[in-house]
Structure formats: structure tokens, C-alpha cells
Structure 1
Amino acid sequence: MLTNLVRFKLLKKHFKFRDAYALFAGLKNKKETIVLPKLNRKIYLRPNSKDAETFEEIFLSHLYDIRLPIIPETIVDAGANVGFATLFFKIKYPDASIVAIEIETKNADAFRKNTTGFDNVTLHQQALYNKKSYFSIADPYKATNSFQIRKADSPENSDIDSVTLDEIISEKKWDTIDILKIDIEGAEKQLFEKNYENWLPKIKIIMIETHDRMVSGCSFTVMHTISKYNFILYTTTEGTLIYYNLDLIALPSL
């Protein structure tokens, strides 16, 4: 359990004093809208949701906050939820171009509110997958941060379609993806099962949370596929695995 002083110090790592104080007070008092005067933006936290918990997970832990050997220019935020990982990356790497992917409509709407005004941020309200497919959306845990996809029997009976990393790379005309952040509630198993041969060698850094508790075999499939290439598991942070592609970046000194 973090003390108030520690919470405030952690917020100051990412935000100016006035914004950190506004966030500290707003989170403590369960505000739905928190105004950040220095950033000139607002943070929106929906009532009866996991939004505040998700914000704290990203900004009060070292989930993605590690020293990298590169300054990322291209980022994919897969499983973007309401936009707090994208917000984190955009504050830390303001010149980066970010493609976010989120399957659920209310989350996608909240994402747009929380990232409004950012340059070079694109949202795909689709599922990240290994080929063109159609899905229904399931909410087995009755939460706002753990939606899953289920294969639909036809486009007409689906809630959403898919996008592939090959499509994103082609659409954005990127040579590489500098950071691929993946938190997609078990769909990482299918993503790494097939059709990865073109995009995977183009990834410099993978930040991935696997969900074996949701879909059996996620961790094995991800690790087995990544092991075919020159990646190293550099570190883990709060359950997230951080891989470096040694063909594209130099291993940082410890």
C-alpha cells in the first residue's frame, strides 16, 4: 500500500508539480474529471469503472517506465483501453507517432477524450489479430479493462473486425515499430501463432502482458515464437515482459 507521500512523488516523476498535485487530489477524492493546468488538458475517469485503477497501474508503477536504449519514434499501443498508456508514452516521448488499438466502443470513446489534442495519435477500433477476421466482444469479468474477443461465425453477427501489424506498418509507411505494447487479454496467443514472419523482425522492443489465466498457453506461444528471432528478455515490470530485438538495437549496459 503506497503512502500519500510516495504516491505524490511518483506522480511528480511524470507530471509538473501543479499537475501532479491535481492528480493526487483528484484520485484521492475520486473525481471524474481532473484538470491538468500545466499540460492544458483533462483526465477523464468514468464512475463505476476500472479507469482510476488503470491510471495508477501505469503512472504509479514501473509498468512501462524503464530506461530504453532508444528514443522511440513509432509505437503501437495494442489494448489501449481508455488511453492512459498512450498518454504515458506521449508525455515521455512527445515526438513519437502512436497507433492505438482498442476493441470496446465505450473504452474507445474514453480514449479519444483522454488523448484529444495529441499530434500523431491514431486509434483503430479493431482487434489486433494474425489475419482478417470478425469477432464478438465478451466481458467475462464484468470489468472495463478486460474485454476479450470471440470468433464470430459471420461478419453480420460480429461486433468488430481485425487489423494486423502488417497492415499498420504498411498504412503508416514505417520501417520498424520501436515499441510494441501488447495487453490484449489472451488474444496474444493467436497473434503469435501464425503470420508473424513479416512484422516480428521489424519490432525493436516488445512490452507484453500474457494472460494464461484467460487463455491457456499464451506464455508458451509468445515465448516460443519470439525465441525464433534474436530477441532477449531484458527485464520484467509488474507482470509485463520486456523484450529487445538485438538485430535492431544495442543491448544497454546494466
Structure 2
Amino acid sequence: MYLLYHLRENVRDARHLGPRFLLRHLPRLRRGDGAPVRVSVSGVGRLILRQNSQDLGVVREIFREDGYRIPSPPHDRHVDEVYRSLLAQGRRPVIIDAGANNGASAAWFAVRYPRALIVAVEPDPGNAQAARANTAQFGVLVVEAAIGCRSGRVRLVHGEGSSDAVQTVRGDEGGVRVVTVPEIVAEQPPECTLFIVKVDIEGFESDLFAQDTGWVGDTSVLYIEPHDYLFPGRSVTRGMQAVAAEHHLELLVARENLVYVNWAGSAPAKERPSS
């Protein structure tokens, strides 16, 4: 069963990521030293996969499963129209990838929205280094920091040593700075305007949506991976849910993500899709 599973996974990899993706096995067979492996993803380019990490699963989820595709065709087309409208107005859409991990999600957004300015925010140094390597070809700005509702400092807590489960805890003794969404946007050229925010920050969404959330109304899409399951009884997504309701965002579900689409905001006025 183990061999059958891996055979099936490799067939799916070849079909969706391209046959050259399977060449990732060669360096490991030759060296066996656990060094990072360069892989080729069809339509994307070369990415680095770290051994003993979750990188392979992340790349498969994002590119093979198209994890950030908006699941509703009318909403997907609407967001594309917003993107084109902003460009036609001489404005540059800004995409903030908060909790960028190894940069695969930022690379996905760069392929989908090639003229956007993408800011990948990642507090873990190892992940940030991988994100820089994986997004250099796209000109992504990688900010090694946490993201929250106000500036400050946090310390990192690694969940069972996993590269994709780095939690942040506020404290003056923390070694990682905190940036905010308005700060990121303000640091960009004047023609830049907020377009998409993706949030996967392991429960720190409770901090991000605690105050100063006016920026939510400026987004066209807000992706959230909720983490209430990690913190039973703490309602870490309560603030996010309240803010989404306040701005009348339309809710979709795509795999592990809640996808909030701002049908009324920053887009050409149009009718809602018929039910």
C-alpha cells in the first residue's frame, strides 16, 4: 500500500506539476545528504524543497490542487475584473501574503496576477530564506516579520518542529518585529493599492483583527486559514468573523481556507451573481 500510494502521488505530480517535477528524486538518490532539492513546476519555474520539511506538501496543495483558486466562477471573474480595472487606472494592485512560509503561495499569486506587487510576510528566518529563494524570479518583497494589528515584538513558537506551524506570541522580549497591513501599504509607491490579503498565521489572526481593521474594506479578497482548532475555547477567529460581517464580505470555502470576496469594494459596480 505504501508503494502504491507514492506511485499514485507521483503520477498526479507528473500530470499537474509537469514530468520534470519528478526529477526531484535524483539528487536524493545520488547524495542522500538531506540537502534542499531544486524542482521544476510547470508554468511556475524552479522552486526549492527542503528535506525534512512540509515543503513538498505545501507545493502540492498550492500548485497541484490549485489551493488558492477562488472556488466560485462568478466571484473569480469579478476579482479578475477588479485586477484589470486597477491596472487600467494606472494603479498597481498589492497582494500581502501573511504567513508566507516557503514562498509557494506568493509564487502562485505572482503567476496568477503578474503585474501585482506582492509582499510576503514571514516571521521564521528559515522560512523567510526559503521564500526569498522561491520568489526571487517574481520580484516578491519578502519581509521577515510577523503581522498584527499594531507594531511591537513577538517570539516564535515552533509547533512540533514543523516548518509550516510557527506560532507568534507578543512580548517585549520577542526577537521578531510586528508590522501592520496599513504600514506595508504605506511603504509602497503611491500608485499602489491594496488588492488581496492572505492570512495563515497560526492563531495570531486574533491579534491581527483585534483593532484598526479598516483596511479589510479596501481588499478585494481576504483569504483566511482559521486556527480555532489549535486553540479550543479561545475563539481566535471571533474578531475576523465580526470584521468580515461588518464589511459585508461574501464567504466562500476553498479547501482549508475561508475566502471572503468584497463584491462591492474597489471594483466596477455590477450586479451580484444570480443564485
Unaligned runs of 5+ in 2: 30-35, 84-92
- AA matched with 1:122: L
Q: 1:196 pairs with 191, 210, 213, which one? A: 213
Is the 2:209–2:239 Cα contact (8 Å) retained in structure 1? yes
Q: Distance between the aligned counterparts of 2:145 and 2:239, measured in 1? A: 22
1:21 alignment counterpart: 19
The answer to whether residue 105 in structure 2 is matched with residue 85 in structure 1 is yes
Give the aligned CA root-mean-square deviation in angstroms. 2.5
Shift of 1:41: 4.7
Q: 1:144-159 alignment to 2 at 5 Å?
A: 144-152=163-171, 154=172, 157-159=173-175
State whether residues 23 and 34 of structure 1, in contact with CA within 8 Å, keep that contact through their aligned partners in structure 2: no
Q: For the residues of structure 2 that align with 1:188 and 1:37, how far apart are their CA atoms?
A: 31
1:123 aligns with 2:123: no
Distance (whole Å) between structure 2 residues aligned to residue 177 and residue 35 of structure 1? 32
Tell me, yes or no, if the aligned pair for 1:62 and 1:238 is still in contact at 8 Å.
no
Counterpart residue number, 2:86 = none
- Aligned residue for 1:194, secondary structure, equals coil
Partner of 1:184, secondary structure, is coil
Structure 1 unmatched ranges of 5 or more: 12-19
Q: Which residue of 2 aligns with 1:247?
A: 264
TM-score (norm 2): 0.78
Decide which structure has the larger Cα Rg and report it: 2
Q: Given the alignment, which residue of 116, 130, 134 partners 1:114? A: 134
Contact 1:62/1:237, CA 8 A, preserved across alignment: no
Q: State the 4+ residue runs in structure 1 displaced beyond 6 angstroms.
A: 27-31, 37-40
**d(CA) in 2 for partners of 1:140 and 1:70?**
34
Q: CA deviation at 1:252?
A: 5.2
In 2 relative to 1, CA 174–123 (structure 1 residues): closer, same or farther, beyond 3 Å?
A: farther
The answer to whether structure 1 residue 55 and structure 2 residue 59 are counterparts is yes
In proportion to residue count, which structure has more helix?
Answer: 2
Secondary structure class of the residue paired with 2:178? strand
> Structure 1 37/124 Cα, relative in aligned 2: closer, same or farther at 3 Å?
closer
Identity of aligned residues (%): 27
1:8 aligns with 2:27: no
Structure 1-normalised TM-score? 0.84
Aligned length: 240
